[in-house]
Amino acid sequence: MLKPIRTESQYEASLERIYELMQIDLEPGTELGDELEILSILVKEFENLYYPMPKPHPIEAIKFRLEQMGLSEAELIRILGSRSRKSEILSGERKLSLEMIRKLNRELRIPAEVLIQAY
């Protein structure tokens, strides 16, 4: 029976079991497939609690997302409104406004919680 992961040793044992299950060609909806899915959820929750990933810096997130989408920094001119504003944002001279955050969230699909961080 699956139980919540509360200790490091339970976490390690869960990772080992996930590895074992991943070596099998499992079908979704089977008993072992369900076990793998539930164990993965439990491990993810444990990791989120004890090994949280820091959010990326807002400017780095913008640059990364542009690269990921195959866009140039010039695309930010359209999103942010002007070449000088784009330069000020990327250099850190100007902070993102609420309207800029909304546009970046909508156009580049960068989570708002990343963009609203203090920097």
pLDDT, tens digit, for every residue of 86-109?
A: 999 999 999 999 999 999 999 999
Q: Are 39 and 86 members of one domain?
A: no
Residue 1: inside a domain? no
From 8, 11, 21, select the one nearest 42 (Cα to Cα).
11
Of 105, 19, 17, 94, the C-alpha closest to 61 is 105
Would the pLDDT of 27 be above 90? no
Give burial (CB, 10 Å; 0-12/13-18/19+) of 113.
Answer: exposed
In a domain? residue 65: yes
Asked whether residue 15 falls in the same domain as residue 46, the answer is yes
Q: Is the pLDDT of residue 83 over 90?
A: yes
pLDDT tier at 28, thresholds 50, 70, 90: confident
Residues 66 and 110 in one domain: yes
Mean pLDDT of 32-50: 96
Q: At what angle do helices 31-50 and 8-22 cross, to 10 degrees?
A: 140
pLDDT of 1 over the 90 cut: no
Same domain for 24 and 63, yes or no, is no
Quote the domain boundaries for residue 97.
Answer: 58-115
For residue 82, being part of any structural domain is answered with: yes
Q: Is residue 93 part of a domain?
A: yes
Per-residue pLDDT averaged across 17-29, rounded?
Answer: 93
